[in-house]
Structure 1
C-alpha cells in the first residue's frame, strides 16, 4: 500500500493507496455510498460498495458526517467521467475526527454568512479552485521575473511617506514618530533598481479607501517591478509579456480548477502579447462615441468608462498618456506635451477594470523637486528619494499589478473578496 495525495493518484492506477482526507459531501443508497473526498491537493470520489467491504466499513461510510477527517484506503481506478480522471474504490475507513453540525451545508447561503465563516468557506470546491489559480499566478510571477534577470527585493511595510501622496493612508505611531502602512513599495524599489538594475517585489499593500465596489480591498497584494534604463515603451513590453505568461501558465496548469469555476477558457487563450494601446485623448473620444457625454478631457475614468473602453478589444488594453494632473507626482512628462505623462493603465477585458498601473519615472532632480513642491509634500520625508536623482540618475520605469483583481479576471469570479484567503473590507476585519 502506498501513502499518497489526491493529486498524485494518477501514479497508482490499479494499486492500493492510503490518503488522509476530509469528507466534503456524500450520497448513498442501500448498496453503495459515494464519498466526495478532499485533501487540499484536490477532490476525488470514493466509492464504497456494500458487497465489497465489511459491514462495519459500509455503515461507517453511510454515517460519517460532512467535514469529518479520516484515512481512506482503496484501489485507484481510471474514470473518464471524473474531472480528475480517477476515482477510489474504497475498502477501508479510519475516522480521525467526527465533525458535528458543520455550518456550511450543500444549500444556498448568503454572502455575509459565508464571509463570517470564511475560515470554513475556503474548504469548498469553488474557493479551493480560486486559491489554486491564485497560487499559480504567484508561482508563474516568480518564474517569469527570475527568468528575466530580476532580483526580488522586499520594501518596508511601515513607511514615513506616501508614494501616492494621498490621504488614503493607515496612520500608526512608530515610537515617537508618525508612520503609515505602505500603499506601494515603489519608491524604495526605485532605490533598489539603482543598485541592482531590475528588481521586483511581492507583498501586501494597504489603502484606507472607503469603497465597497467589487474591485476594492483594504489590504491587497501587489507585484511591483522597477527597471533601470527602461523607458516607457520598454516597460509596456515587459507588462504585456508578463501578463501573457501568467495567463498561459494558468491555462496550462489549472485546467481542473478553471473547469470547476466554469471559466470560458477560449477568452483566455487569446491573451498573448502584444496588447492594443489607446491614448487617453482617443479614449475620451471613444467614450463620447459610446454615449458617455459627461466625460471631459481632464476627468478620471471610473469603472463604467474602463469597461466601455475594454469592450472594444478582446485582449487587455493599455490606456496611455493620462493628464499630468490626474497622476502621481513622480511620473515623467511626455516629450513636447507637459500636460500629459508617460504612463499607462492596463485594463482587463470582461469588465474587470485596471489590473496594472505604471509609468516612466522622473529622473531629473530639478523637475522632481518642483513636483514635490507642487504637491505640497514634505521635503524632509522625500530627501532620500530626491538623492537618487543626484547620484547617477538614469531613465527608469516600473509598474504595479494588483494580484486580487488579476485572480478575479483570470478565474472569472465576480468579486475580489473571493480572491484572497481572508479579505479585509470596509466592514470586515473578521475572521
Structure 2
C-alpha cells in the first residue's frame, strides 16, 4: 500500500500533538498537585472526593457552631458564678442579722447592704453577651428580662424559650437558660418552707421543718397552723381544707402533721397563723424573698417587744430557706452548663478526629504522587523529543539528496 506524503505528515503531526497534550496534562497535574484535573478524568474518584469534601465542610460548620455555643455557655457560667457569690454573701448577712446584740441602726445598715446585693443580682440576671443579646431573656433577648415595677418589685419580662444550636449531625444543644428557670424556680427536691402570717401579734417562733414519714396521707400538701385558746389546729390548704392535726400547744414541743414535724416556741396569740408549704408553692422568686428580708430588717424592734423579735426571727428563718433553695437552683443550672460544656469538648475531640480521617482519605483520592508524576513527565518529554527528531530526519529524506 502506498503512503502519500500528505498522509505521512498528517499522521506525524497527530502523534506529535497527542504526545504534547499528554505532556501538558502531566505538567498541569504537577502544578495542581492532584491526580485528576476534571471529573471526566476519573468520575468515580471525583464523586468520592466531592462527598468527602462535603463531609469536611459540614464538620467545619459544626466545629464553628460548637465554638459559638461554648462562648455562650461560658458567658452564662461566668454570670451564674457571680450570682452564686452574691447569694452566699446574702446568707452571711442573714446570719449577722440574727445577732441579738444588733441595734435598729445596725440592722438598717445590713438592709442597705442587702439592697446593694439585690441590685447586683438583678444586674447579673440582666447580663448580656456583649452584642446586646441578654443571656437570661429566652427568645426575647433584645430586651432586659428583669424590670422593676411601680411597687418596687422585680418582674420577669422574658419568656421560657431556650436558644438551640446544631452542634453535631444529630445533636441540638440549648446554649441559654431563661431567667425564670434560673432565678424564680426551685429544684424538685427542695423541702418545705415555713412562714409567719403578716397579721400575727404573738411571739410564736418556728424552727426548721423535719420529715418523719414521706408516706403519710397528707404529705406533699401545703398546711396552715392556727392558734386559738391555747390550742393549735393544722389544716391543709385544700378546698375545702382538711384537718391534719390538732391539740394543746406547748412551747418547745414539736407539732406533727402530714408526715412532718415543726418545733415552735414562744407564745402565739389567738388568731396567729403559720404556713408550711412546699418550696414550689411558698414563693420561688428570689428577688421577692430578698425584698421581704430588706423590709423586715428596716422594721425597728425598739418598743415592739417579743412580738417584734419573733417577726424578725421568723422572717430570717423563711429567708434562709428560700435563699438556700434559690442558691441550690443556681448551682444546679451551673452544673448543667458544665455538663453541656464537657459534651462540647467531647464532640470537638471526636469531630477533630473525623476531620483528620476525612482529610487523609481525601488526600489518598486526590493528591498526586510527585515522584511518579515527575518520572512520567520525564518519560513523556523524552518520548516527545525522540518523535520530533525522527520526524525531522524523515522530513529531510528526498530522492534529490542521492542524485
The question of a shared fold, defined as TM-score above 0.5 by the shorter chain, is answered with no
* Higher RCO (CA < 8 A, seq sep 6+): 2
Shorter chain as denominator, the TM-score bin is under 0.3
Structure with the higher helix share, 1 or 2? 2
Structure with the higher strand share, 1 or 2? 1
TM-score (norm 1): 0.24
TM-score (norm 2): 0.25
